[in-house]
Chains A and B, each alone.
Chain A
């Protein structure tokens, strides 16, 4: 039995759920950003799987979309971690449940 599209879609759904669980339940901002990266990566896996099992894969749209998604995800990671540094400098904590004030 060879690999089908289902294998990759189910794996991607499981990885996305793991990332979503982490983003909803962990109590650390950096871990929440890591979980965002996990979710974005499982979406990339979906894109590549749809491209690879498509009837006409030669226009290479799947890898291009993934390339753009990776570029946007890298920007998001850099900006998110810079914001984490700013939040830590301002609130002196990284626990998202103790960051409650909108104004100092």
Chain B
């Protein structure tokens, strides 16, 4: 279990680190898919097998493909070699995050130490139990999530297509190709 944890942690850190340093955006998306799969392995290591399956389905399956489509629909993939990868003053952002990590997060984590309870040995959560809990006390949350997903779907369609129709009304008469015979 230890070796699996360290291996998966290394893959996760490597994937995330490559995702924020690579210039080519498609390579960055593929390395973040590596990060997602390492996280699915970590969930599996902590006996949350349904969450691991959901992670693979939702993140690697749909969010990654969505990001690849967004890249294909927007800019050139390789990145402009003249444009800088990092924003102006990126050193300050990096220093602030390192200060946050070393000054706030790690001391807080070390204060939780000493009495970390050990995981139960006879603990066998099943997907059936998860479904029962989802139906009994959390039914209203499922309804709210369904409403949110519907609203998000409609909002995404409106945001992605609404502007284009307005643009087309302005630009189509100006640059419509002239085919006299057809």
Place the interface of chain B in its size category.
35 or more
A25–B90 contact, CB under 8 A?
yes
A17 pairs with B125, CB closer than 8 A: no
6 nearest CB pairs, A to B: A22-B20, A24-B93, A75-B152, A25-B90, A82-B156, A82-B160
The tally of CB-CB contacts under 8 A between chains A and B is 231
On chain A, the residues within 8 Å of B54 by CB distance are: 67, 70
Measured CB to CB, the residues of B under 8 A from A are 1-2, 5, 9, 12-13, 16-17, 19-20, 25, 28-29, 32, 35-36, 39, 42-43, 46-48, 50-51, 54-55, 58-59, 62-63, 66-67, 69-71, 73-75, 79, 83-88, 90, 93-94, 96-98, 100-101, 105-106, 109-110, 112-113, 116-120, 123, 125, 129-130, 133-134, 138, 141, 145, 148-149, 152-153, 155-157, 159-160, 162-164, 167
Chain A residues in 8 Å Cβ range of B164 = 89
Residues on the A chain within 8 Å of B87, using CB: 24-27, 96-97
